Structure 1
Amino acid sequence: MKDNATPASPAIPAIAVIVPAAGIGKRMQAERPKQYLVLHNKTILEHSLARLQQVPTLSKIWLALAEDDPYFADINFDQSQIVTTKGGTERMHSVLNALQQIEPYKYPWVLVHDAARPVVRQADIELLIERCITTGDGGVLACRVRDTMKRGELTVAHTVSREHLWHALTPQLFPTALLKAALEDAIQAGVYVTDEASAMEWAGHPVLLVEGHSDNIKITQPTDLALAAFYLEQLI
């Protein structure tokens, strides 16, 4: 190889996908869980799954649903890539339930994506995969904080420097066996983690920050629906 030649990218191993979708989304104040609200004639969940299905290197998708979910059966889309599994009381329990069904030797890496992030870009997912596989470390899509940050409740306690601050997004990609062990240990220790990166950080594993697009929003509040609809129009 010449000195200025571009190194070959490593072969992409089989990657399993987990989508925790057992939450009820209380902050949306809707008549059904937010992942089943409709944008552009499809549920938010359908949009999110379709984004993942566009990535050819991703294999099966384990979808963690609430045990009494009455909505998923009514969705009419290609489910040949989908395996449903039981969700848990918190996100970390849902992800762990799915991980317990995934064989690490068959799927050495697992990618976790929020059910309510329907605007993630294929290019961002592929960039995350490339960076993680190249380095051997897990990582998260993230975007840099742009605004001045304040800490406090009703009044400002102090201003926090935005330097080196990032918004953590999804997908998040980690070695399957390491993530499973990290979540099991965190839950057993009574440590509450809000995402997979938190579990890996707690276990002492490095987590890469891979910069993605800031329009990869998570639908949480009612006002997020209009914004997500607008962003989807740019991608559809």
Structure 2
Amino acid sequence: MSKFHVIIPAAGSGSRMASETPKQYLPFLSGTLIEKTLSVFLTCPHIDSVSLVISADDNHWDALSIPVTQKLHVHRQGGNTRAETVLNGLRMLASASDDWVLVHDAARPGLSVALLEKLISELSDDPVGGLLAIPLADTLKRADNDQRVAHTEPRDHLWQAQTPQMFRYALLKEALENPTSHAPTDEAQAIEALGFKPKLVAGELRNLKITYPEDMALLEAVLKAD
């Protein structure tokens, strides 16, 4: 039976947060962003292992009181890009080729166990795999070099990608080791470049990625209201 492994790339600095502290270590609710992000996977019985991949010079992780266990593994193998960090995490996994790997953003702490289990349920028999995403609701404008509207983009069939993104170990490793596109921004793009079509699974607005300071207050309010 296939196992389910999680890789969380956490080697970035989060420069758009305007903070000297990497955003995954910023205070959030009763702990930090990374602690909240990890908690859903550590409590989900379907998840066999969680690999957190941090930078070699990360001096923030050791200050947290999160015990490394048989389920949680920390690797100081962060790369220069997200794709490199995820690939390094894959190489550290002792995994069968048909095991599933779920890659999740370190600064996306709003994922619920129910949404995680929905993703696993919908994709566990899928031939390709897929990702959480939400249909775009806002009108999209493409800007010119003067920050004026060049034209309006049709939003039909457009979705905003979220994570986790879930693919078979062997397929994801092949996609990241031999990319046919330059610097894929997520795992689904790397899979698409091999000619596959990942499945879109409806996510939730609460599964927001923290990118800007105002995102913190918004998501805290949403989660406190649950």
- TM-score class, shorter-chain normalisation, is over 0.9
Contact 1:16 1:107 in 2 (8 A): no
Q: Secondary structure at the match of 2:160?
A: strand
RMSD (CA atoms)? 1.5
Return the TM-score normalized by structure 2: 0.94
Residue 56 (structure 2) aligns with:
67
CA distance in 2, matches of 1:51, 1:137: 24
Deviation string 1:6-62 (CA, Å, 9 cap, x unpaired) is xxxxxx721111000000000001120000000112110000000222321111111
Give the direction of change, closer, same or farther, for the CA distance of 1:204–1:193 in structure 2 (3 Å limit).
same
Asked whether 1:20 is paired with 2:9, we answer: yes
Contact 1:88 1:97 in 2 (8 A): yes
CA distance in 1, matches of 2:94, 2:50: 13
Return the TM-score normalized by structure 1: 0.90
CA distance in 2, matches of 1:163, 1:54: 37
Residue 21 (structure 2) aligns with:
32
CA distance in 1, matches of 2:170, 2:62: 31
Q: Which runs of 4+ in 1 moved over 3 A?
A: none
Residue 82 (structure 1) aligns with:
72
Residue 153 (structure 2) aligns with:
160
Give the direction of change, closer, same or farther, for the CA distance of 1:123–1:82 in structure 2 (3 Å limit).
same
Q: Secondary structure at the match of 2:131?
A: strand
CA distance in 1, matches of 2:112, 2:224: 13
Asked whether 1:214 is paired with 2:205, we answer: yes
Contact 2:9 2:86 in 1 (8 A): yes
CA distance in 2, matches of 1:43, 1:129: 26
Residue 171 (structure 2) aligns with:
178
Unaligned residue ranges in structure 2 (runs of 5+): none
- Count of residues in Structure 1 that have an aligned counterpart in Structure 2: 222
The one-letter amino acid paired with 2:74 is T
Q: Secondary structure at the match of 1:223?
A: helix
5 Å matches for 1:197-212? Answer: 197-212=188-203
Deviation string 1:51-101 (CA, Å, 9 cap, x unpaired) is 222321111111110110000011112431211121111100000001012
Unaligned residue ranges in structure 1 (runs of 5+): 1-11
Alpha-carbon deviation of 1:190? Answer: 6.5
Asked whether 1:103 is paired with 2:94, we answer: yes
CA distance in 1, matches of 2:128, 2:200: 10
The one-letter amino acid paired with 1:61 is V
The one-letter amino acid paired with 1:201 is E
